[in-house]
Chain A
Amino acid sequence: MAHFITSPAPHVHSGNSVRRNMLLVILALLPAYVVSVIEFGLGALITALISVAVCVLTEWLISRFLLKEHSQTIGDLSAVLTGLLLAFNLPSNLEWWIVVIGAVVAIGVGKMTFGGLGQNPFNPALVGRVFLLISFPAQMTTWPLAKGFETSYLDAETGATPLYFLKHIMKTNDGSVIDQLPALRDAFLGAMGGSLGEVCALALILGGLFLICTRVITWHIPVSIIATVALFAWIATPDCMAPQTFIAYQLLSGGLMLGAFFMATDYVTSPMTAWGKIIFGVGIGFIMMVIRTWGAYPEGMSFAILIMNACVPLLNKFRPQRFGEPKK
């Protein structure tokens, strides 16, 4: 009697995979990365390379020698993505060994201690970044100015980012520093100081739209973050600025676009349902604006995302509307 393969239905699959999703996110990050290399030069290349390499190596070493796992998860590209996202959140003139520490903490502490892919409560790249921010506050807040392609990146000219001026304006209502802000056009295209991958809003928005169109992410998180920030900024507009200008600067500076499209939408650390995602996004936007307005740091995107990451198990209680259930 001939026996055939048996297994429960369904017998076909969409062909989607973790690797494909990670690859699409990496692809979506590339335009922003190209802008970074153009604006910040060699530093952007080296920092990203070190970060990715150390993330992958750390994951491999931990699963091989500490967890003694036979199957490796390197192939799913999630460590590559973590490395790239970490680099995007670092100044491009950071010393190499600081990048190494950040990458080891991101994967080692942020991801593998919880059991690897899918188990971590916090975004690993942000765990790495915040660890560095607290450990090396000076280096982490000295941003190179965008000066076109630089080869001598370590002594790149540094300066304050738009967020510094925005905070000053909000605190003192002093309109005299407004002209020190980059032109809105430059802020949109990425010709301003900031972390390696966060400066070019245009490239990040394009990448984000690509992810929404390819259904890797849904619109809920980015839209709710951006809308919340815009609303908050509108209400909190200082007298010396026009609301639309203030809103535009808030949206285009710092890690907002990078965070909204790429960091907050991390599958593992964001809610599963539409309403959960919307509340998650509103929370991030609100907390970030509270930090930007009253906090000690000029930027609060990383903290806002990490705080809302902690709320995800609770937000997952917002279950979807069931079939045939009366509308709540």
Chain B
Amino acid sequence: MKTFHLGGVHPQDNKQFSAHQPITECPLPKQAIIPLVQHIGAPTQPVVEVGAKVKVGQLLAKAGGFVSANIASPVSGTVTKIGDWTDAWGAPGQAVFIDVEGDEWLPEIDRTPDLARQCTLEPKAIIDKISAAGIVGLGGACFPTHVKLLPPPGKKAEVLIINGVECEPYLTCDHQLMLEHGEEIIIGIEILKKALGVDRAIIGIENNKQDAIAHMSKLAQAKLGIEVQPLKLKYPQGGEKQLIDACIGRQVPSGALPIEVGAVVDNVATVFAIYEAVQKNKPLISRVMTVTGKNVAKPGNYLVRFGTPIDEVIELAGGVPTHTGKIIGGGPMMGRAMDHTEEMPANKRLSGLLFLDEKESVRPEEGNCIRCGKCVQACPMGLEPYLLQRMSELEMWDELEKHAIMDCIDCGCCVYTCPAHRRLLDGIRPGKAKVGAILRERAAANK
């Protein structure tokens, strides 16, 4: 069975808590908080004013550039505030606050569950619709999707790779989405193939989701040029570069984008959003979130409108379990531990909430590096984490650049595997930020 070729680790997948829980719709909140940055790229510009009445699907804020994404209103009601807001990690930002009144949608949005199979739009029209709908990569990176669909001049996409890997332990939202909305995803893939002008699409799914592999294979059978690729369980297979390597055996060079090897990668949840945007005129206003953890009363997969305070989602799952130490936004390998949950809304970026108990939440004490080289063996990018950490501490920026610190994908394999519990990434992250800043400065000076 195929997998990627360098490094990787095998964390316990712990998906049993929320796996196969049917997608449950979360009730509408009284007040919705919609952050103005929910993607990688330029911040959005609000296009509504305080006091305005908005409908579901109406544009709230428009993309602030090419690499940016529109934000549509996920609720109907009155805008009460546009201003300062702090996220669950303490970072300041801007948000639109809406008092929810009813659930009134824009009339052009098709809310029926009927499958819309036919798509007669031209590629450009498809991409325009995706762009207007504010779709970003829902696998975690939140990179605006329309940017990926418009390759730079001279580059041509050859193969579309669909990410159904969900390699983060605990998370099951993509798995459940494939089981419940497989047909929509297949239509989404056909739309994407058309938009990109490629005749081959591969859906990569890890072999801990046998039912999803079987289901998607059955649906893909009738379609020309869509294949399902079962993959050997290994983290971080859902990483874009790792997935391309696993599926087609091509390695994206350092610093380059997937298009360099002719690949475009999109997550299954993103493809589902594309189906809804193109076929149903529905902008990206909700997503499936996994709420899980061994002590969570009702772990499951919840369809949540953006802007819904996560406290309400947590209530739906049975509340914060006693002895909770950490609440992680996302999975345990790359997710971020929240300081608090108040005023934190569901948004494009939040794929799940994971509750760890107090014992699981404390990092063990760091020991001396015993130079075992396990971090080197585990690194999926072929880097030397022990060295990068030390060099970051010593502020050796030139050496760090030579040792390819910018290739680090933040996957956490090195920390996960280290027998001395060294917090390698705590050192590498700031080093990477600094080297990145130096590189940008240099690029700006050379212009």
Residues of A whose CB lies within 8 Å of any CB of B are: 1-14, 16-18, 20-21, 71, 73, 76, 78, 116-119, 218, 267-273, 319-325
Known: A5-B325, A5-B337, A9-B336. A272 touches B370 (CB 8 A): no
Q: Enumerate the 5 nearest inter-chain pairs by beta-carbon distance, A residue then B residue, closest first.
A: A10-B412, A272-B373, A118-B368, A322-B382, A324-B251
In the docked arrangement, what's the CA distance between A324 and B260, Å?
A: 11
Give the shortest distance, in Å, between B408 (CB) and chain A (any CB).
Answer: 11
Known: A13-B416, A323-B381, A325-B382. A5 touches B372 (CB 8 A): no
In the docked arrangement, what's the CA distance between A17 and B365, Å?
A: 11
In the docked arrangement, what's the CA distance between A14 and B377, Å?
A: 14
- Interface: B121 (CB within 8 A): no
Known: A323-B6, A324-B252. A10 touches B340 (CB 8 A): no
- Interface: B394 (CB within 8 A): no
The answer to whether A10 touches B416, judged by C-beta atoms less than 8 angstroms apart, is: yes
The answer to whether B373 touches A273, judged by C-beta atoms less than 8 angstroms apart, is: yes
Interface string of B1-29 (1 = CB under 8 A from A): 00000100101100000000000000000
Chain B hits for A10, CB < 8 A: 332-334, 412, 415-416, 425
Chain A hits for B415, CB < 8 A: 10, 13
From B11, B384, B404, contact of A272 by CB (8 A): B384
In the docked arrangement, what's the CA distance between A2 and B355, Å?
A: 14
The answer to whether B370 touches A322, judged by C-beta atoms less than 8 angstroms apart, is: no
Which of B43-51, B199-207, B294-302, B356-364 touches A? Answer: B356-364
- Interface: B371 (CB within 8 A): yes
**Highest count of chain B CB atoms <10 Å: which of A322, A323, A325:** A323
- Interface: B335 (CB within 8 A): yes
The answer to whether A21 touches B419, judged by C-beta atoms less than 8 angstroms apart, is: yes
- Interface: B169 (CB within 8 A): yes
Give the shortest distance, in Å, between A144 (CB) and chain B (any CB).
Answer: 35
The answer to whether A323 touches B380, judged by C-beta atoms less than 8 angstroms apart, is: yes
Give the shortest distance, in Å, between B157 (CB) and chain A (any CB).
Answer: 18
The answer to whether B341 touches A5, judged by C-beta atoms less than 8 angstroms apart, is: no
Chain A hits for B325, CB < 8 A: 4-5
Chain B hits for A322, CB < 8 A: 254, 381-383, 404, 407
**Sample of 4 more A-B contacts, CB < 8 Å, known A5-B358, A21-B372:** A5-B361, A9-B328, A273-B376, A320-B383
The answer to whether B337 touches A14, judged by C-beta atoms less than 8 angstroms apart, is: no
The answer to whether A14 touches B382, judged by C-beta atoms less than 8 angstroms apart, is: no
Give the shortest distance, in Å, between A21 (CB) and chain B (any CB).
Answer: 6
The answer to whether A11 touches B368, judged by C-beta atoms less than 8 angstroms apart, is: no
The answer to whether A8 touches B421, judged by C-beta atoms less than 8 angstroms apart, is: no
The answer to whether A14 touches B370, judged by C-beta atoms less than 8 angstroms apart, is: no
Give the shortest distance, in Å, between B430 (CB) and chain A (any CB).
Answer: 10
Give the shortest distance, in Å, between B168 (CB) and chain A (any CB).
Answer: 10
The answer to whether B333 touches A12, judged by C-beta atoms less than 8 angstroms apart, is: yes
Chain B hits for A273, CB < 8 A: 373, 376, 384
Dominant secondary structure at the B interface: loop
Residues of B whose CB lies within 8 Å of any CB of A are: 6, 9, 11-12, 89, 169, 241, 245, 251-254, 256, 320, 324-328, 332-342, 354, 356, 358, 360-365, 367-374, 376-377, 379-384, 386, 403-404, 407, 410, 412, 415-421, 423, 425-426, 429
In the docked arrangement, what's the CA distance between A3 and B327, Å?
A: 10
Q: In this complex, what residue of B is CB-closest to A16?
A: B419
Q: In this complex, what residue of B is CB-closest to A19?
A: B419
Chain A hits for B327, CB < 8 A: 4
**Highest count of chain B CB atoms <10 Å: which of A11, A117, A322:** A11
The answer to whether B364 touches A320, judged by C-beta atoms less than 8 angstroms apart, is: no
The answer to whether A5 touches B362, judged by C-beta atoms less than 8 angstroms apart, is: yes
Chain B hits for A119, CB < 8 A: 368
In the docked arrangement, what's the CA distance between A18 and B337, Å?
A: 27
Known: A14-B9, A267-B372, A324-B254. A4 touches B339 (CB 8 A): yes
Give the shortest distance, in Å, between A64 (CB) and chain B (any CB).
Answer: 17
Known: A4-B338, A4-B339. A11 touches B370 (CB 8 A): no
Known: A8-B426, A14-B416. A2 touches B372 (CB 8 A): no
**Highest count of chain B CB atoms <10 Å: which of A12, A269, A272, A273:** A12
From A8, A17, A272, A324, contact of B376 by CB (8 A): A272
The answer to whether B367 touches A1, judged by C-beta atoms less than 8 angstroms apart, is: no
Chain B hits for A320, CB < 8 A: 6, 376, 379, 382-384
Chain B hits for A21, CB < 8 A: 370, 372, 419
In the docked arrangement, what's the CA distance between A76 and B419, Å?
A: 11
Q: In this complex, what residue of B is CB-closest to A218?
A: B377
Chain A hits for B335, CB < 8 A: 9, 11
From B89, B169, B381, B420, contact of A12 by CB (8 A): B169
Residue pairs across A and B with Cβ atoms less than 8 A apart, 24 shown, are: A2-B341, A6-B338, A7-B361, A8-B423, A9-B336, A9-B337, A9-B425, A10-B425, A11-B337, A14-B417, A16-B374, A17-B421, A20-B419, A21-B419, A73-B367, A76-B367, A78-B370, A267-B373, A268-B371, A272-B371, A322-B382, A323-B6, A323-B254, A324-B251
Q: In this complex, what residue of A is CB-closest to B343?
A: A1
In the docked arrangement, what's the CA distance between A117 and B340, Å?
A: 39
**Highest count of chain B CB atoms <10 Å: which of A4, A71, A269:** A4
Give the shortest distance, in Å, between A260 (CB) and chain B (any CB).
Answer: 18
The answer to whether A117 touches B368, judged by C-beta atoms less than 8 angstroms apart, is: yes
Give the shortest distance, in Å, between A218 (CB) and chain B (any CB).
Answer: 8
Give the shortest distance, in Å, between B60 (CB) and chain A (any CB).
Answer: 27
The answer to whether B416 touches A12, judged by C-beta atoms less than 8 angstroms apart, is: yes
In the docked arrangement, what's the CA distance between A59 and B12, Å?
A: 36
The answer to whether A12 touches B11, judged by C-beta atoms less than 8 angstroms apart, is: yes
In the docked arrangement, what's the CA distance between A323 and B254, Å?
A: 7
Give the shortest distance, in Å, between A115 (CB) and chain B (any CB).
Answer: 8
Chain B hits for A116, CB < 8 A: 368
Chain A hits for B89, CB < 8 A: 6
The answer to whether B340 touches A4, judged by C-beta atoms less than 8 angstroms apart, is: yes
From B336, B379, B419, contact of A18 by CB (8 A): B419
The answer to whether A6 touches B337, judged by C-beta atoms less than 8 angstroms apart, is: yes
The answer to whether B337 touches A4, judged by C-beta atoms less than 8 angstroms apart, is: yes
Known: A2-B340, A3-B340. A325 touches B376 (CB 8 A): no
Give the shortest distance, in Å, between B120 (CB) and chain A (any CB).
Answer: 39
Chain A hits for B381, CB < 8 A: 322-323
Give the shortest distance, in Å, between B343 (CB) and chain A (any CB).
Answer: 9
Chain B hits for A325, CB < 8 A: 251, 253-254, 382
Chain A hits for B374, CB < 8 A: 16
Give the shortest distance, in Å, between B252 (CB) and chain A (any CB).
Answer: 5
Give the shortest distance, in Å, between B388 (CB) and chain A (any CB).
Answer: 11
**Highest count of chain B CB atoms <10 Å: which of A9, A21, A117:** A9
In the docked arrangement, what's the CA distance between A74 and B404, Å?
A: 37
In the docked arrangement, what's the CA distance between A90 and B417, Å?
A: 35
Known: A20-B419, A323-B241. A11 touches B254 (CB 8 A): no
Give the shortest distance, in Å, between B389 (CB) and chain A (any CB).
Answer: 13
In the docked arrangement, what's the CA distance between A118 and B422, Å?
A: 12
